[in-house]
Structure formats: structure tokens, C-alpha cells
Structure 1
Amino acid sequence: MKMIKLTETIAGNVSRTVNPIGRKLRIDLGANQVQTAGTYDGAKNALILGGASGYGLASRVTVAFGQGANTLSVGYERAPQGESLGTAGWWNQVYVKQAAEAQGLRAVNVNADAFLTATKQQVIDRLQREHWAPLDLVVYAIAAPKRVNPADATEVWRSVIKPIGQSVTDETLDLAHERLVRQTLPPASPAEIAATVHVMGGEDWELWIEALKAAGVLAPDCKTILFSYEGPEATAPIYHDGTLGRAKRAAEASAQRLQRVLAPTGGEALISVNRSVTTRASMVIPGFARYCMALYQVEQAAGGHERSLDHVDRLFRQMVYGQHRRVDDQGRLRPDAQELAASVQAAVNQLLGEMTAANFSPNWPGYQQLRREFRELSGFGVPGIRDEMPAMMLDKVVF
């Protein structure tokens, strides 16, 4: 049997390769984890926008295997071609589909740019053509670097990760070289701020809900949820007070408008302020990985660390469909309360003072946990999985 050797390549904080076998095991383990926790009443037909990775993938796994929902996922990933095995997100969608269909659930993957009007119409056409029951859940979990203006295709908005008002210098993790490096980010220009809001705010979320509602494919009591982030003081200069934070505030304003649209028929537009986790998107935020190292180390010592699936499964079980909603004065769901507890943040801040470029050690428990999670996002370092795969697997893949 011909085998394909799988080589892990990390550039900066980005993984350039994938181990599909490792990703299959992680998907299967995640599905089993959710089912072992018990099924519960929730969505029956869900649209996951951004379901290929991160919180979107976690949402799809928990609604499919915890709630028994049929899922249609939109992701924008690179498929295998030639000697390239594509991206981890592409394989994630393949393996969720396989696992869901094995249990009699409908699972559809659409590989397209969710920002495009044509993609919205493609999804609507498919829902209608295949006689889906109305959607009772729409998850919006898009994290993308650019978006084409839907009113003018010649204009492309590009998001930036920058502070606002003044430069910020921080130590950030370089995973490829296992070191901390100092980095100074200049403040964003007004044009960069506006572009980031267009890409990462709630404009496209609103367009999706408006299009789905106009097409008659939303259930009267449909819930829609977008994931936001508040974060601690340690990450505020880059995130909460920066361009990403500005975009999140815009998304929260979108939720208020959508709530007025959906509430009359029993629907809901929800914002969930989620915790800090290891995802492809979060690892490129300057300074964020260093904070995560300290947080994970504190959580490991206390026995309370959550990955994205753990966090989202708790969110849906307890807050979205459960009886334990925890909301703030703005009506946002706050599953991040555990992370932001004063005792946790005091311990994290003490560790951050000790985690410097001068004394960095790959033996730090927090770093080891973060690196393990990062590698597993691409299927590497998964216990029991070798870095090779049968070539014949590529001939049997059904997206």
C-alpha cells in the first residue's frame, strides 16, 4: 500500500500542512465527547457559517451530536490538489459529514466565500431544492482577512489587527522558533478601522439573516448567534481597545437590530462573549498567545481548562438551550466568566510578569498545552496517530 509521508511545517504562528488522519480522530473524539455528555433538546436544522474550524466547527459538532441536528456548513478552504493535501478546515468538514451521516443525520458542506451574495443564494437554493425544514439555528463564526463590498465588487475591505490611537509594544509568541519576541504595532488609520469593521463586524451577519428570512427558510423561532470577545486587561490594547474590539462592538449593535426583526415571531439574536482559546485565527493576534500560555497554566493547576469544543458545548447546553443563562447588563451571554474571575486574572497577571523573552522556556506547562492544541488543529501530535496516510484515502473522499 502506497503511503504519503506527512511533514509538519509551521511558519510563524501558521501551520502550512495537515495530517488528515489526526484531524479525523479529533473530530471523532469530539463527537463522542458531546454524545457522552448526553443529548438534549435544541436545534433540528442548523446553518453554520464558518463551520470549518474554530468556534464554528465546535458549534457544528455540538449541535449535530448533542442536539441531533441536521447541519449545513459554509467554509472557505483549500481542497487537496496535486501534492497538496489542502487545509485542515477542508478535512474537518469532510469528517464531520462522515460522522454525522453515519448516525443518520443530514450534513452538507458548501466550500465558498460566505461574504458573497452568490454564496447566500447558493445556500438558499440548496435548502429549497433539497426540501430542508426551516432553519431553527444560524451560527455566524466567520473570521476572514478580507471582504468584497457587496454593493461594489471593485472595492475590497481588508481587516487589520492594530491598536487605536497609539502604538502598542508587547511580547508575542513565535511558535515556529519557540520564542517570545517584542513587537510594536502602529495605530490603525481611520480607513483601516472602517475596513476592519466591514469585515469583522455584523454587516454580513445581518445580510445573511435578511436573505434567509426573505426566502422563507427561517423557522419563526429561529435563534442566531455570533461569537464576540471581551477579554482581560492584558489583551485590551490589541483586542478590546483595538480594531478587532471596534468590530465586535459593531457586531453587537447588529445583534440589537436583528433582535427587533426576529423577536416578534419568537426568534432570538444572541451575542456570546467567549473565552480565549487556541484557534487558527487567535494565534495570529499579537500578544494573545502569550496571554493564553499564562491562562492555560493557571487553569491546568486548578483543573478547569477548556478547549473550544468544551466551551461551546457548555454554552449551548447551559445558556442557549438550557436554564442557566448568564448575561451581562447588555444582554450578552457570558460563558467567559470563569476566565475573567478576579482570582484567575490575578494569577495570570503574576505569570505574565514572569514570562518574558529573556527567560522563555519551552518547558512551561502553559506553553506545552498551547503548542499541543495548536499542532492538533492541523492533525499533528495527536496521540496514537502516525505522520503518514494511505494514498488511496484521497480517492475515497466525499466532500
Structure 2
Amino acid sequence: MIIQPRTRGFICLTAHPDGALQSVKNQIEYVKSKGELENGPKKVLVIGASTGFGLSSRIEAAFGSGAATIGVFFEKASSEGKMGTAGWYNSAAFEKEAAAAGLYAKSINGDAFSDEVKQQTIDLIKKDLGQIDLVVYSLASPRRTHPKTGVAYASVLKPIGQAFTNKTVDFHTGAVTDISIQPVDKDEDIQNTIAVMGGEDWKFWMEDLKNAGVLADGVKTVAYSYIGPELTFPIYRNGTIGQAKNDLEASVTTIDNLLADIHGKSYVSVNKALVTQSSSAIPVVPLYISLLYKVMKAKGTHEGTIEQMERLFSERLYTADGKVPLDEAGRIRIDDWEMADDVQAEVAKLWDSVTSENLSEISDIEGYRKEFFNLFGFEMDGIDYEKDTNEDVKIPSIAE
């Protein structure tokens, strides 16, 4: 099958297995270039392991620390004549490279919100690893069925209190326009968003893992969040998503109490704005990222997900002295280079002047587009996209 990108809005409907493999290889090479993290984790569970920060976390753990990894995700498998999702191909590529390096890697494909997948994961840990010393929670989903009540929740992306109007960009066409987003009209939508994207499921995972006895003494767990600049606050940090992130961050106290008797610790890492499937769906954010990339690349401080995760592990979670640097709210800040005063001042200046006409000149919209397609295995250097490609790629550890 000859596989080409086919898009609908902020979604790419196709994915390329060879491109996914190359993307994973590139991330692995970066991690290996940084040297071994001597005091890093050795047995790791990544929940939401197939794309973005979750995938990069798994790569960093495996190839930076030699860790055995179990990845949980919910992706569409490939079959003859039918493409899998990008996350499926990423995970197949990861297992292939892990096996070649002699590293343990197994995956579970299913609804991570469900009790069934939690139990399946626990059974696999007991069978193969005994206990784990790091749990990465990097789940992103627009909806969730509650495992205890069976109630289905859907998240909404809206401001709270008043309408929000600002600039946005269609990154396919380069058109910069104003967009107005009406505020959420009922509290139920806020609560539903919290139910999907807040901290309850993270707590459920840690409770089940703890009760099953599969958490090692001194275990760490980390979940990912974002704050961003004030210009995105109405749609992000002060909007419905922000309420869910507040709930996620507030879960740290509960999880710390849960893990106290085994000397465990939980963290929320506030990460940098990057091109991900999730961020592409948020109005205003793609334009902000395009300007941010321009500024940070000029300063030599730009990072992708793998650079972020390498720095998170080596400079925050697993420091030589064992101390984890936190901000005044108790969070890890790996967005520090993004939020530097000089960076934000330059982005704000560009924001005021950006138009459709000068977008290509003053932003990195081309870099944004390329990274978007890279997420799905396209526009990767060294890949011949005109050749016939085997679309049916298996993940060895997942039974047919």
C-alpha cells in the first residue's frame, strides 16, 4: 500500500509505519547520545504510552536507564489492507527497537480507564516484573466511561464565565483569523471535563497498583500538565481544561498519602507547549506554538517531547542528590525555558503583529506543520513515501 497523509482539520486520518519507526529511532538516538542515567528507573509502567510525552517517557526510561517497560494505550490495530493508528505503529516500532537492544517491553491495548485493563496490567506486572518503581500517567482522551458507575463523560473545550476572542491560525493554509468561543453554559460540562481529564483515574490506578502489591518501595509516579502564557489562559488554564488540570495537580496530596508507607512520591510535571494531537485541537494554541518555536529556536532552547523527557528524568526526577526541584505550588517545571521572561516578551510582541501576510516570516508555521505530520509518520527525512509499504505491522507482545 502507498500511504499518503489525509487530513480533516486537526486530525490526520492516515499513518505511516516506516515514518513512525524512523521517528522512534530518532528519539532513541537522542537519548543514547546523552549517556546512561545511572540512578534512573528500572521497571516502568507508562499509561498512555503510544504518542507524545508518554511515548517519549517510555523511550527515555528504556534507552536512558535500561528499564523494562510496560505500555498501556488504546489504539486501532493494523490489518491487511487497513492502516493502524499512529500510536499503534509507534508502539510496534518501540517494541522492535527494544527487542533489538535486549530490553523487556510489553504492551496492553485497551481502555485504560477500565478496571479490566488495570487488572490485566497488574497481572502482567506480577508475572514478569514483580514490582515497578515508576508509573508515568500520560493519558489523553476526550471521553471516559467511569469504571465504577458506568457513566460516560465527554470533555468540552470552552472558557468559563465569558466568551473568549483572540487570534488563531489554520496551520494547513496559514490563514490567521479571529475566533470567538462561547463560554460553557452549564456547570455539568465543567464537572464532565474534570471527570475525563482530572486526577481521579490516576488515583484509581495508584490505588489498584498499591493494593495489588506491585509498587516497589520508593516508587515514583508522575503525571503531566500545562500552564502556558496568559494569552491562552481563558481557553486553557482558566477554562474547562484548566479546571481538570487543577484537579489533576490536587491529586498529588492524596496519592502521596497513599504511598507514604512504601516511601513513594507523586509529582505533576508542567511541560512545554509542543505540537501534539491534543494541542492541535485547541484554538489559539497552534499560533502561539508557531511563534514560540520561532523564538526558542533562535535562542537555541527549543525542545521536542524527547528532549523534555530526557531533561525531566535527568534533571528533575532522578537527580544525583535525590532531590526533586519543585516550584512554590509543589510542581516540577520543565516548561521553564518556555516561560522565561525574555521568551514570553518576544512571543507577545510577535503576537501583536502577526497576520496571514507575515506569518511565514515571523513564525515557524512550517516547523509546526512538519511536526504535525511527523506525529503520524509523515515528512520524516529518509523515508520514501512513494514506495509500497506494508501497512500490517504487528506488536509482538499483543496477542492476535
TM-score, structure 2 normalization? 0.94
Counterpart-to-counterpart distance in 1, 2:223 and 2:109: 20
Deviates more, 1:325-334 or 1:27-36: 325-334
Question: What letter corresponds to residue 378 of structure 1 in structure 2?
Answer: F
Counterpart-to-counterpart distance in 2, 1:48 and 1:73: 5
- How many pairs were matched up? 393
Contact 1:48 1:140 in 2 (8 A): yes
Q: Does 1:144 align with 2:124?
A: no
**Superposition pairs for residues 264-279 of structure 1, below 5 Å?**
264-279=261-276
Deviation at 1:6, TM superposition (A): 1.3
Q: Does 1:132 align with 2:129?
A: yes
Counterpart-to-counterpart distance in 2, 1:394 and 1:140: 29
Deviation at 1:53, TM superposition (A): 0.4
Counterpart-to-counterpart distance in 2, 1:392 and 1:20: 8
Deviations 1:331-359 (A, max 9, x none): 111111111111110000001112234x3
Counterpart-to-counterpart distance in 2, 1:285 and 1:60: 26
**Superposition pairs for residues 195-344 of structure 1, below 5 Å?**
195-323=192-320, 325-344=324-343
2:367 aligned residue (329, 353, 369)? 369
**Secondary structure class of the residue paired with 1:337:** coil
2:162 aligned residue (166, 176, 184)? 166
Question: What letter corresponds to residue 287 of structure 1 in structure 2?
Answer: V
Contact 2:3 2:389 in 1 (8 A): no
**Secondary structure class of the residue paired with 1:295:** helix
Contact 1:19 1:388 in 2 (8 A): no
Aligned counterpart, 1:345: 344
Counterpart-to-counterpart distance in 2, 1:29 and 1:146: 32
Q: Does 1:17 align with 2:8?
A: no
2:173 aligned residue (170, 177, 195)? 177
Deviation at 1:172, TM superposition (A): 2.0
Counterpart-to-counterpart distance in 1, 2:92 and 2:259: 32
Deviation at 1:389, TM superposition (A): 5.2
CA separation of 1:100/1:46 partners in 2, compared to 1, >3 Å: closer, same or farther?
Answer: same
Contact 1:224 1:268 in 2 (8 A): yes
Deviation at 1:264, TM superposition (A): 3.1
CA separation of 1:261/1:347 partners in 2, compared to 1, >3 Å: closer, same or farther?
Answer: same
Question: What letter corresponds to residue 314 of structure 2 in structure 1?
Answer: R
Q: Does 1:38 align with 2:35?
A: yes
Counterpart-to-counterpart distance in 2, 1:95 and 1:322: 29
Counterpart-to-counterpart distance in 1, 2:219 and 2:77: 32
CA RMSD, 1 decimal: 1.6
Question: What letter corresponds to residue 29 of structure 2 in structure 1?
Answer: N
2:114 aligned residue (113, 116, 119)? 116
Aligned counterpart, 2:354: 355
**Secondary structure class of the residue paired with 2:140:** coil
Deviates more, 1:174-183 or 1:6-15: 174-183
**Secondary structure class of the residue paired with 1:131:** helix
Contact 2:78 2:391 in 1 (8 A): no
Deviation at 1:101, TM superposition (A): 1.3
Question: What letter corresponds to residue 250 of structure 1 in structure 2?
Answer: D
Quick one: percent identity of the two aligned structures? 37
Note the residue ranges of structure 1 that are not aligned, 5 or more in a row: none
Contact 1:74 1:111 in 2 (8 A): yes
Question: What letter corresponds to residue 220 of structure 1 in structure 2?
Answer: D
Question: What letter corresponds to residue 118 of structure 1 in structure 2?
Answer: E
Contact 2:24 2:93 in 1 (8 A): yes
Deviation at 1:135, TM superposition (A): 0.6
Aligned counterpart, 2:52: 54
Contact 2:2 2:389 in 1 (8 A): no
Question: What letter corresponds to residue 157 of structure 1 in structure 2?
Answer: Y
Deviation at 1:185, TM superposition (A): 1.3
Note the residue ranges of structure 2 that are not aligned, 5 or more in a row: none
